[in-house]
Amino acid sequence: MRAAVSSTEVPTRAWDIDETAPGLAFGYLFAEDHQKYGTDKDAFIYVIVNAHWEEHDFEIPSIPSGFNWHLVAEANGGAHETGKEPLLENQSVFRLGPRSSAVLLAK
């Protein structure tokens, strides 16, 4: 997995896994098609994990227009009340502190 060494480098693309490197920083995206699952709209949840001892910038996956990423929970900041998740100011990169995780929701 490519992991940025400092916050000034290119953000980690958590979905580009280098199987020869230690898995200290990764992310996974849950994507649900509303037609396939019979829901009102598509759903996107992005979970990021940084087990490294340094902070990393993670590239956030692109999502369809009309959706924006919101912060549901962060290890160092706690969880937000359902329906009141704050909009991310930066929709393309998320900085995650050392040994922490975050959950993003597109809505």
User: Was domain 25-106 assigned CATH 2.60.40.1180?
Assistant: yes
Average pLDDT over residues 78-101: 92
Checking if the pLDDT of 103 tops 90, the result is yes
Checking if the pLDDT of 91 tops 70, the result is yes
CA dihedral 87, 105, 23, 98 (to 10 degrees): 30
The set of residues, in sequence order, having a beta carbon less than 8 Å from that of 42 and lying 6+ positions away, is 31, 32, 33, 34, 64, 67
Checking if the pLDDT of 101 tops 80, the result is yes
> If you search the block for the tokens 């994990």, which residue do you land on?
49
Condensed to tens digits (0 to 9), the pLDDT of residues 54-85 reads 998 999 999 989 999 999 999 878 888 888 99
- The domain ranges of the chain are 25-106
User: The whole model's pTM is what?
Assistant: 0.76
Condensed to tens digits (0 to 9), the pLDDT of residues 2-59 reads 333 334 455 556 566 666 666 788 888 888 766 665 656 778 999 999 988 999 899 9
Q: Given this model, what pLDDT does residue 6 score?
A: 38
> If you search the block for the tokens 């160092």, which residue do you land on?
76
